[in-house]
Structure 1
Amino acid sequence: MSSNLKKISLITFCSLGVFWSLPLAAQQTGWGEKNKLEDAEIVVEKNRVNELPEATRNFEKLRIPPPEKKPRQVNYRFADYRLATNNLNLPMRVLTIKQEDLTQVNGNYIKLGLGNYSTAYVKGYFHNKRDNQFSYGADVSHVASAKGPVDGSNSGVSNSEIKFNAESYTRDLTVGGNLYYNHDRYNFYGYSPVIEKIDRDTIKQVFNRIGADIFFNNKVSKSELQFQGGVGFKYFTNRFGARESNILTNIGVGYALDENAKINVDAKASFVGYKDSTSINRGYFRLRPSYESVSDLVSLSLGAVIAYTGDEVNNARKLNIYPSVRVGYEVVDDQFQLFAGVEGDLKRVTLHDLTQENPYLNQDVQVADENKVLDFYGGLTGNLGSSLKFTARAGYQSFRNLYFFNASQTDSTKFDLVYDNGTTKVINFLGELSYNYSERFRLGLKTEINKYTTDLLAKPFHRPAFQTNISGSYNYNDKIYFHTELYYLSRTYGQVFRRDNEGIYRPALKETDNITDLNLKVDYRFSNKFSTFVMGNNLLGNQYQRFVNYPNKGLQLIIGASYIF
């Protein structure tokens, strides 16, 4: 306290001394009020130059050491706050996304219709609804015309079929089976009713087909090892006592080496027993190993086909080895690809399938497997956006035992299977185009050109050189559905036998018609379950001949209704 008083006394004394010294200084220098300021000249000289030494720049950033971490103990205290549940009104709502409902799948529908030519139309589809473990059902079909284009009921036709199927799904394995029965009735109406009087019972033809198979695969599995296989049986009979049984099996294995490469081995076998006036056994085996790889620009498939046939028709080659090579190059990623390859194959041919292509076959026909000796091909494929897809392909092919349908020399209403003694050369062009817009409008185009060069046959009987197909569908407001199809087949040739002036029957070529056929189907939907439909076949009304002496039906209309349940 005493030291502070001493400091205050000293400061006060110094201040008073300065105050009293100011008037004395003013009197000595003449700065009083009675004195005047005289004129004077002041000269300022700048003789000094201030120079600063050159600074040294320091580019090193200023480093501030981080604070030293000191361990500290943090204690937490959890308080238990409980709200009363009575009269609690929370205004906050949880925002959720509505789950999209699955489209309802109706397991059954039936369609019934009637048309000209005394036609009955019945279709049935009976299946279980969506299930993660099982799928099973049955399909029923009956389409019959009591009358036809020639001689009334003598050209009627009937096609009936019933099919059953079932599948079982587990996590890594699918097992299923199929069973079907097919009954077809035709008439050999390729005669002239003005000239010939026909016993109706002699022109009837009836086909019965029975088939069953079981299969398995692990396609849903993500395993590196993929496999599939099956075994089946087909049985065929006709009205004239011909019988054909076919036991067939297949198995395939694929192993992924990595994400871009895999190895495949596919094998199939068939044993056919055929009995008509004679009995024939026909064995068949096919093995195809291959290596496949895919990169950003190039896709490659290298393999071979080893095939065996037990046929003896036309001195058929028993054991055959073919190349199987295909190379693809992506010109534009996922949009445009060029491809080329060479391959060969042996195709199993049976009477079961041939009678579906031409139901007017003769008895005791000679059936042989189709041997595609070589096929050199190249082309391009791609898409323009997600709606337009296209494919163009050109190839040069060589066949042995390629079958042709030709009118029988003993009965002009029936057809025999004939083969070229040598090889049949084919220059092939194929083009496909598909357009899909918003799932409501679809358009498809397919065109195929085949230039056949035969060895001994006069013409490639009943094989058209040009055929094209245009199909389209349109969905109008989920109320009216349109589906149309237009196809064109160029004229073909058949061989008939005509009697000359000497009374000898000699072969002569006969052309069939150029075929232009327009079909249209319209469905009108009254509700989700009930709709009506109108089907028009051959709307242009052309009575063309696909096979010699067999004119087709003219305009045909079918009107009916369908019900979904």
Structure 2
Amino acid sequence: MKSIKYIYSLLFFAAAGLTTAQAQEKKAEEKAVVSEEIEVVRPYKPILAEAVKLRRSPNLDDVKTYKAKLNYSVTDKKLELNSDIQKLQAQQLAEEKASILVNNYVKGAFGSLSTLLGEAYFNTGKDEGLQLGGYFKHFSQEGKINKQNSSQQQLSIFGRSILEENTVSGRLNFERNGTYFYGLDNANPTLNPNPEKQALTLLELEGELVKNFTEDEDALSYAVKANAYLWNDRFDAKESYLSLNGYLNKRISSFNLGLAASTEFGSTKDALTSVGNNLLRLNPYIRLQVKGAKVTAGINFVQEFGAFSSSRIFPAVTADFTLVPDYLQVFGEVKGDVNRNSMKGLTDENPWLNSNILIKNTVEKLSISAGIKGTGGPGFGYKARFYMKQFDDLPLFINNFDNFNKFDVIYDFGKTKLTGLEGEISIQVIDALKWTGKLNIDDWKPAQETYSWFKPGLKVSSNFVYTYNKKLSFNAAVVMQDDVKAKVNVQQPVNPLQYLVPNTSIERIETVKGFVDLGIGADYRINNKFSIFAKANNLLNSKYNHFLYYQVNGLNVFGGLTYSF
């Protein structure tokens, strides 16, 4: 027991000694710190600023209150009851990607009868502000008759610019029609052993300025157009032509006041003839246009000058009434005019003309027509028209006495009357199937001649287009015409250049049989760039004539390739 007390006593004294030693070391360190010299300048006296002093009691005399300025606006909003079924809003479709337009193509083909076709079209694009383009075509064939050869070339360059107020357009055109006087008389097949060659050439320039459309109903509208050409054949015939046309129209309420004016200058020369043929037309009018009706009343003043001199005034009245919107319209017209005959116009109809053709104008003294037009529902359209016309000096073709395979132009002196009926119809049952047809029935009453030579009484034309799918499509066309009469002189007429009254005692009348010409075609689109096509003409292989002694080509088939880019 004593030993345990002894041990605890030793531990206590040892701990006390250790603590005393640490305290002495700490005092030694404090003495070392205090030994540093400290200089006191003045005693620290904190100062509190006046602004932050607080009064012990508040000042109750300050009773001023702050009133904020408030602006109030009351919204007059109608309480809507949303108990009805809300209309669903259609989700907008994503914008379609702009289609890539194909502006250019090149086409080539060949086939029977040595058929050769070359065609090309170029255009700058879809920018309507400025467009430039060009077109070229060559087509040639060789028939089975001696020198039954033909070739046609056409080159056209055109342009158009849409300005802020006007649209300006122009065109340069070159055409050449090459053929032979291959006419064959089956009763005398040896009369034309070496047919002469003929080439008709045209160089044409045209320009136009038109006022752009504006929503201002009282705005002044106008247009100006100029056309000029040079024409010649392979022999001595030459023709120059210049025409200027102008148009002004001012709308005042439901009325339109307008003036159309034109002047034509023409000169035709050949080895033995020279004719200056000029016209001036003035057509003032007033037009009433209201809902369902449009009536135009005016006059047509025509002045001939040059080789012919005369002044004429004709009525110019048109009317259009809508009885059933989109389904039935009734229209009518009463007019008259002087039709300027030219070598270009005559050879466009009959390219086998003789030399030294007499040029004279035709007076359309009175023309009356009336009809109906409209639609019978989606995909169905129609038009029917009845007309009566009177002509002075109607031009007709007759075979030349010395050269049976060339044609002279005579004028039926006096009043030639024409009564006719015209009908058109268009049917599109579905988008892939479309059919159109046209019918003309004419009854000619000549003035002095026995018949109106080469004027058919019945003409029918029809077109059919069927798209089988996106790649394959078919087309067909048919033309029908009844018999026409032709005059052949068995003796030389007296002074044919001044021909007025026929001499029936020296005439022989020939009948040119009617015909049916059927053609079909097909197109197959390989891809977006290449397609192939085929076409067959005169499937019935009819050996018919448009003009006496000139037989058309029989069955011919050709096909080729089109490249678009």
TM-score, with normalisation over the residues of structure 2?
A: 0.78
**AA paired with 1:550?**
Y
User: For 1:164, which of 157, 180, 200 is the aligned residue?
Assistant: 157
1:333 aligns with 2:363: no
* Deviation for aligned residue 1:498: 4.2
* Deviation for aligned residue 1:379: 1.5
* Deviation for aligned residue 1:326: 2.1
Q: Which residue of 2 aligns with 1:384?
A: 376
1:114 aligns with 2:110: yes
Please tell me whether the aligned partners of residues 287 and 307 of structure 1 are also in contact (alpha carbons under 8 angstroms): yes
User: For 1:450, which of 442, 446, 451 is the aligned residue?
Assistant: 442
Q: Which residue of 2 aligns with 1:142?
A: 138
* Deviation for aligned residue 1:104: 2.5
Going from structure 1 to structure 2, the CA distance change for 1:468 and 1:126 (only over 3 Å counts) comes to same
Q: Which residue of 1 aligns with 2:528?
A: 528
**AA paired with 1:124?**
A
Aligned pairs (5 A) from 1:391-470: 391-470=383-462
Distance in 1, Cα, partners of 2:448 & 2:111: 45
Q: Which residue of 2 aligns with 1:345?
A: 337
Question: Secondary structure at the residue paired with 1:409?
Answer: coil
Distance in 2, Cα, partners of 1:472 & 1:304: 41
Distance in 1, Cα, partners of 2:340 & 2:446: 22
1:131 aligns with 2:127: yes
Distance in 1, Cα, partners of 2:487 & 2:543: 20
* Deviation for aligned residue 1:382: 1.3
Going from structure 1 to structure 2, the CA distance change for 1:198 and 1:462 (only over 3 Å counts) comes to closer
Please tell me whether the aligned partners of residues 255 and 264 of structure 1 are also in contact (alpha carbons under 8 angstroms): yes
Please tell me whether the aligned partners of residues 493 and 510 of structure 1 are also in contact (alpha carbons under 8 angstroms): yes
Question: Secondary structure at the residue paired with 2:413?
Answer: coil
Please tell me whether the aligned partners of residues 331 and 370 of structure 2 are also in contact (alpha carbons under 8 angstroms): yes
Q: Which residue of 2 aligns with 1:41?
A: none
User: For 1:497, which of 489, 495, 513 is the aligned residue?
Assistant: 489
Gaps of 5+ in 1: 1-70, 77-93
User: For 2:202, which of 203, 209, 212 is the aligned residue?
Assistant: 209
Distance in 2, Cα, partners of 1:409 & 1:198: 14
Distance in 2, Cα, partners of 1:542 & 1:156: 18
Question: Secondary structure at the residue paired with 1:421?
Answer: strand
Aligned pairs (5 A) from 1:308-319: 308-310=303-305, 318-319=310-311
Please tell me whether the aligned partners of residues 372 and 399 of structure 1 are also in contact (alpha carbons under 8 angstroms): yes
Give CA deviations for 1:404-431 in whole Å, capped at 9, x if unaligned.
1111122110111111110101111111
Q: Which residue of 2 aligns with 1:306?
A: 301
Question: Secondary structure at the residue paired with 1:326?
Answer: strand
**AA paired with 1:171?**
E
How many residues end up aligned between the 2 structures?
Answer: 466
Going from structure 1 to structure 2, the CA distance change for 1:263 and 1:364 (only over 3 Å counts) comes to same
Distance in 1, Cα, partners of 2:245 & 2:333: 25
Going from structure 1 to structure 2, the CA distance change for 1:179 and 1:467 (only over 3 Å counts) comes to same
Q: Which residue of 1 aligns with 2:95?
A: 99
* Deviation for aligned residue 1:376: 1.9
1:178 aligns with 2:174: no
Please tell me whether the aligned partners of residues 183 and 192 of structure 2 are also in contact (alpha carbons under 8 angstroms): no
* Deviation for aligned residue 1:351: 1.0
Distance in 1, Cα, partners of 2:490 & 2:225: 50
Question: Secondary structure at the residue paired with 2:479?
Answer: strand
* Deviation for aligned residue 1:496: 1.6
Give CA deviations for 1:208-249 in whole Å, capped at 9, x if unaligned.
110011111013344521111122210001111111000111
Distance in 2, Cα, partners of 1:75 & 1:309: 81
1:510 aligns with 2:510: yes
Distance in 2, Cα, partners of 1:309 & 1:417: 21
1:472 aligns with 2:470: no
* Deviation for aligned residue 1:198: 4.3
Distance in 2, Cα, partners of 1:101 & 1:249: 45
* Deviation for aligned residue 1:103: 3.5
Give CA deviations for 1:530-558 in whole Å, capped at 9, x if unaligned.
11001111111101011011111111111
Going from structure 1 to structure 2, the CA distance change for 1:217 and 1:123 (only over 3 Å counts) comes to same
Distance in 1, Cα, partners of 2:345 & 2:73: 86
Please tell me whether the aligned partners of residues 311 and 368 of structure 1 are also in contact (alpha carbons under 8 angstroms): no
1:189 aligns with 2:182: yes
**AA paired with 1:563?**
Y
Question: Secondary structure at the residue paired with 1:107?
Answer: coil
Worse-matched range after superposition: 215-224 or 129-138: 215-224
**AA paired with 1:553?**
N
**AA paired with 1:289?**
P
Please tell me whether the aligned partners of residues 311 and 369 of structure 1 are also in contact (alpha carbons under 8 angstroms): no
Going from structure 1 to structure 2, the CA distance change for 1:477 and 1:424 (only over 3 Å counts) comes to same
User: For 2:269, which of 265, 268, 275 is the aligned residue?
Assistant: 275
**AA paired with 1:307?**
V
Distance in 2, Cα, partners of 1:252 & 1:386: 36
Worse-matched range after superposition: 453-462 or 400-409: 400-409
Distance in 2, Cα, partners of 1:440 & 1:197: 52
Distance in 2, Cα, partners of 1:256 & 1:536: 52
**AA paired with 2:258?**
N
**AA paired with 2:118?**
V
**AA paired with 1:300?**
V
Q: Which residue of 2 aligns with 1:68?
A: none
**AA paired with 2:397?**
F
Gaps of 5+ in 2: 1-68, 75-89, 493-504
**AA paired with 1:342?**
V
* Deviation for aligned residue 1:526: 0.7
Distance in 2, Cα, partners of 1:269 & 1:489: 36
Please tell me whether the aligned partners of residues 490 and 515 of structure 1 are also in contact (alpha carbons under 8 angstroms): yes
1:244 aligns with 2:239: yes
Distance in 1, Cα, partners of 2:264 & 2:517: 37
Q: Which residue of 2 aligns with 1:42?
A: none
User: For 1:290, which of 285, 291, 294 is the aligned residue?
Assistant: 285
Question: Secondary structure at the residue paired with 2:414?
Answer: coil
Question: Secondary structure at the residue paired with 2:212?
Answer: coil
Going from structure 1 to structure 2, the CA distance change for 1:437 and 1:137 (only over 3 Å counts) comes to farther
User: For 2:71, which of 73, 77, 82 is the aligned residue?
Assistant: 73
**AA paired with 2:360?**
A
Please tell me whether the aligned partners of residues 461 and 480 of structure 2 are also in contact (alpha carbons under 8 angstroms): yes
Distance in 1, Cα, partners of 2:181 & 2:281: 37
Q: Which residue of 2 aligns with 1:368?
A: 360
Distance in 1, Cα, partners of 2:212 & 2:424: 28
Question: Secondary structure at the residue paired with 2:262?
Answer: strand
Please tell me whether the aligned partners of residues 171 and 220 of structure 1 are also in contact (alpha carbons under 8 angstroms): no
Distance in 1, Cα, partners of 2:361 & 2:541: 37
**AA paired with 1:208?**
T
Going from structure 1 to structure 2, the CA distance change for 1:349 and 1:101 (only over 3 Å counts) comes to farther
**AA paired with 1:73?**
N
TM-score, with normalisation over the residues of structure 1?
A: 0.78
Q: Which residue of 2 aligns with 1:47?
A: none
Distance in 2, Cα, partners of 1:227 & 1:464: 40
**AA paired with 2:178?**
R
Distance in 1, Cα, partners of 2:297 & 2:113: 54
* Deviation for aligned residue 1:160: 0.5
Going from structure 1 to structure 2, the CA distance change for 1:197 and 1:394 (only over 3 Å counts) comes to closer
Question: Secondary structure at the residue paired with 2:401?
Answer: coil
1:229 aligns with 2:224: yes
1:324 aligns with 2:320: no
Give CA deviations for 1:370-403 in whole Å, capped at 9, x if unaligned.
3210012221111112421111111221111221
Q: Which residue of 2 aligns with 1:27?
A: none
